[in-house]
């Protein structure tokens, strides 16, 4: 196996300190768990860890030789240089795929990408925070459970979820649905992705035709038995066929790479080899055909919604593509954040994660034990940790994700830093989070759709968050914007802090994690959400109320 795609173990340093070493190991990890590491692609067809291999190799070389009084600057996956800073400054500052507003269009992105001037960092690919599909599993699971509470008496046993896409993000869906107790059918056009998800335990069964798949669904539903089934096929066609047969799932969503009409979505009637050829030879025709298939796809979803299914957009811009293709009512399908998770985000509760840098699974298990003791009244966390221990396999470096909020993240990180200092863990732990977090993202079609005060498209918040993280001594800080089909639709910020057991690390964790969630509470309080206003008052977040609007 290529050593660039393997994770490092143990406590031996190749860098001058654990701050640099931890970031280097995270870079190695995103390639080890990535979809197409040979091309530096981590997920979502285009989300890359570095612009090209010379850039990657220079990043690695620099991390191995720089000291703590220097900061590495990375522009769209390309290392630009080192600047002299100080020991409390970030080790790495990244800006990936940020284009000036009027120029932030897919066609410009593709042009500049071909000229090797830009690359898309996804959300957690280009700042080396991705931990495999497990990073998405809890969020998907929580969505399903919120749906269960709202529509099905708190239980998805015997309920049928229809979805599609088994890539780096969508691959979390079958396991999340299984853990929620449902019968989940996942449509996927690429047989290799089905095989991968079965090999890593995220998917339990497969079917090669719709008749077989629906028979398996009916059997599991009748027994109230959780099941995850992968169906080889084109999602647009399969959704239409299911609707035409009058089979109405309880829940319907989609996580194909619909955001990207060239490198992501596969149109009806085209084989994967044909699509791969057209990406180079005829991208314009491919875009037209992909959008036409998405129109069919979303119209089928709307038909299932009209027939009684709970239908939602899982954040892949499929509604946006469909509306641009002429489906005027595409946005009758709600986005998952507004529909199910906004009360959590308003309290800055979101997808927080930690990674065992020594590559020792016992480190994660020991942190699990601490979580269950330290947060006994947090039902979301305790329920998740117990489920994850049983069902979620580690990919690459052992890691865990849990939806923790303001104060909780800081308390956990400081406790873990003490565990490292006292020798209770095999090595340092890196703390990070998804970009889809309270103060870290502006995306009017996903995270910030229909904000209470109408501030959906205002991108100041992630920019403020990134600057605040630099001021709070974080080890790595990133600002990302959309590429490919996401171009012009979103801006987000990422942060990583390494808990190496030192007093200095404790200070960084205290400042960065507390200020990160404080800004999240402020963002929603400023928009007038009562949950955020309550959180700010109860926890002493110094939010200024200067009137409405």
Q: What's residue 103's pLDDT?
A: 97
Determine, yes or no, domain membership for 15: no
Determine, yes or no, domain membership for 220: yes
Determine, yes or no, domain membership for 319: yes
Average pLDDT value for the chain: 95
Determine, yes or no, domain membership for 474: yes
326, 379: one domain:
no
Q: What's residue 45's pLDDT?
A: 82
Q: Are 133 and 169 in contact (CB under 8 A)?
A: yes
Question: Per residue in 345-363, is it b (16+ CB within 10 Å) or e — as a string?
Answer: bbbbbbbbbbbbbbbbeeb
CB-based contacts of 469, cutoff 8 Å, min separation 6: 90, 477, 493, 495, 512, 515, 516
Q: What is the pLDDT of residues 336-365, one digit of tens each?
A: 999 999 999 999 999 999 999 999 999 999
Give dist(CA 394, CA 400) in Å, integer: 8
391, 456: one domain:
yes
pTM beyond 0.75: the answer is yes
Q: What is the DSSP letter of 332?
A: G
* HSE, side-chain direction, 13 A CA sphere, residue 361: 6
Determine, yes or no, domain membership for 369: yes
240, 353: one domain:
no
Q: Are 400 and 367 in contact (CB under 8 A)?
A: yes
387, 322: one domain:
no
Residue ending a domain, among 334, 350, 378, is: 334
Domain housing 401: 341-539
281, 390: one domain:
no
Number of structural domains, the chain? 2
Determine, yes or no, domain membership for 90: no
Q: What's residue 1's pLDDT?
A: 64
Of the candidates 4, 24, 7, 14, the one whose C-alpha atom is nearest the C-alpha of residue 498 is: 24
For the chain, how far is it from start to end, CA to CA, in angstroms?
A: 57
> Does residue 257 register a pLDDT over 70?
yes
211, 283: one domain:
yes
Give dist(CA 163, CA 188) in Å, integer: 9
Q: Are 370 and 420 in contact (CB under 8 A)?
A: no
365, 251: one domain:
no
> Does residue 547 register a pLDDT over 70?
no
Determine, yes or no, domain membership for 157: yes
346, 314: one domain:
no
Residue ending a domain, among 334, 357, 380, is: 334
H, E, C per residue of 58-81: HHHHHHHHCCCCEEEEEECCEEEE
200, 291: one domain:
yes
Q: What is the pLDDT of residues 494-543, one digit of tens each?
A: 999 999 999 999 999 999 999 999 999 999 999 999 999 999 999 999 99
Residue ending a domain, among 334, 350, 379, is: 334
pLDDT, greater one: 415 or 45:
415
Give dist(CA 421, CA 406) in Å, integer: 24
Count of all residues that appear for the chain in the document: 549
Q: What's residue 549's pLDDT?
A: 46
Determine, yes or no, domain membership for 185: yes
- 539: exposed, middle or buried (C-beta count within 10 Å: 0-12, 13-18, 19+)? middle
- CATH code of the domain in which 152 resides: 3.40.50.10730
> Does residue 162 register a pLDDT over 50?
yes
- CATH code of the domain in which 361 resides: 3.40.1770.10
524, 408: one domain:
yes
Q: What is the pLDDT of residues 5-29, one digit of tens each?
A: 889 999 999 999 999 999 999 999 9
Give dist(CA 544, CA 71) in Å, integer: 33
348, 322: one domain:
no
> Does residue 450 register a pLDDT over 90?
yes
Q: What is the pLDDT of residues 89-115, one digit of tens each?
A: 999 999 999 999 999 999 999 999 999
Conformation bin of residue 501: beta by default, left when phi > 0, alpha when psi is -120 to 50: left
299, 349: one domain:
no
């Amino acid at each position: 196996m290529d050593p660039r795609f393997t994770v490092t173990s143990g406590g031996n340093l190749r860098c001058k300190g654990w701050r640099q070493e931890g970031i280097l190991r995270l870079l190695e990890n995103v390639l080890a768990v990535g979809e197409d590491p040979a091309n530096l692609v981590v997920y979502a067809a285009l989300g890359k860890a570095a612009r090209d291999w010379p850039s990657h190799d220079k990043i690695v070389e620099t991390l191995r030789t720089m000291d703590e009084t220097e900061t590495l600057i990375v522009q769209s996956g390309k290392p630009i240089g080192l600047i002299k800073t100080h020991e409390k400054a970030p080790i790495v500052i990244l800006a990936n795929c940020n284009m000036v507003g009027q120029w932030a269009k897919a066609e410009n992105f593709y042009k500049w990408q071909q000229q090797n001037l830009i690359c898309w960092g996804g959300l957690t690919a280009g700042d080396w925070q991705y931990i495999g599909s497990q990073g998405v599993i809890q969020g998907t699971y929580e969505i399903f459970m919120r749906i269960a509470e709202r529509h099905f008496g708190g239980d998805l046993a015997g309920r049928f979820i229809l979805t599609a896409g088994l890539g780096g993000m969508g691959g979390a869906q079958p396991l999340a649905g299984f853990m929620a107790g449902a019968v989940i059918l996942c449509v996927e056009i690429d047989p290799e992705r089905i095989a991968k998800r079965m090999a890593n335990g995220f998917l339990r069964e497969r079917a090669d035709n719709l008749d077989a798949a629906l028979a398996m669904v009916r059997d599991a539903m009748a027994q109230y038995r959780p099941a995850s089934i992968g169906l080889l096929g084109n999602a647009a066609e399969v959704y239409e066929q299911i609707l035409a047969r009058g089979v109405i799932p309880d829940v319907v969503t989609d996580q194909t790479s619909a955001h990207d009409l060239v490198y992501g979505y596969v149109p009806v009637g085209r084989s994967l080899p044909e699509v791969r050829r057209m990406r180079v030879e005829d991208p314009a025709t491919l875009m037209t055909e992909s959008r036409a298939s998405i129109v069919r796809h979303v119209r089928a979803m709307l038909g299932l919604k009209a027939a009684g299914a709970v239908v939602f957009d899982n954040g892949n811009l499929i509604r946006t593509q469909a509306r641009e293709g002429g489906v005027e009512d595409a946005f009758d399908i709600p986005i998952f954040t507004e529909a199910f998770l906004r009360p959590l985000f308003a309290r800055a509760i979101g997808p927080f994660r930690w990674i065992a840098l020594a590559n020792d699974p016992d480190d994660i298990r020991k942190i699990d034990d601490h979580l269950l003791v330290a947060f006994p009244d947090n039902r979301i966390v305790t329920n998740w940790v117990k489920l994850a221990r049983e069902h979620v396999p580690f990919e690459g470096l052992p890691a865990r994700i849990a939806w923790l909020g303001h104060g909780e993240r800081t308390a956990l990180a400081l406790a873990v830093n003490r565990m490292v200092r006292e020798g209770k863990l095999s090595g340092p732990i890196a703390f990070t989070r998804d970009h889809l977090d309270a103060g870290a993202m502006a995306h009017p079609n996903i995270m910030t759709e229909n904000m209470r005060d109408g501030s959906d498209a205002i991108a100041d918040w992630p920019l403020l968050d990134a600057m605040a993280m630099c001021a709070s001594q974080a080890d790595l800080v990133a600002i990302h914007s959309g590429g490919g089909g996401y171009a012009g639709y979103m801006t987000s910020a990422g942060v990583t802090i390494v808990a190496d057991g030192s007093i200095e690390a404790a200070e960084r964790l205290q400042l960065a994690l507390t200020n990160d969630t404080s800004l999240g509470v402020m963002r929603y309080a400023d928009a007038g959400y009562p949950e955020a206003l309550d959180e700010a008052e109860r926890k002493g977040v110094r939010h200024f109320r200067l009137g409405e609007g």
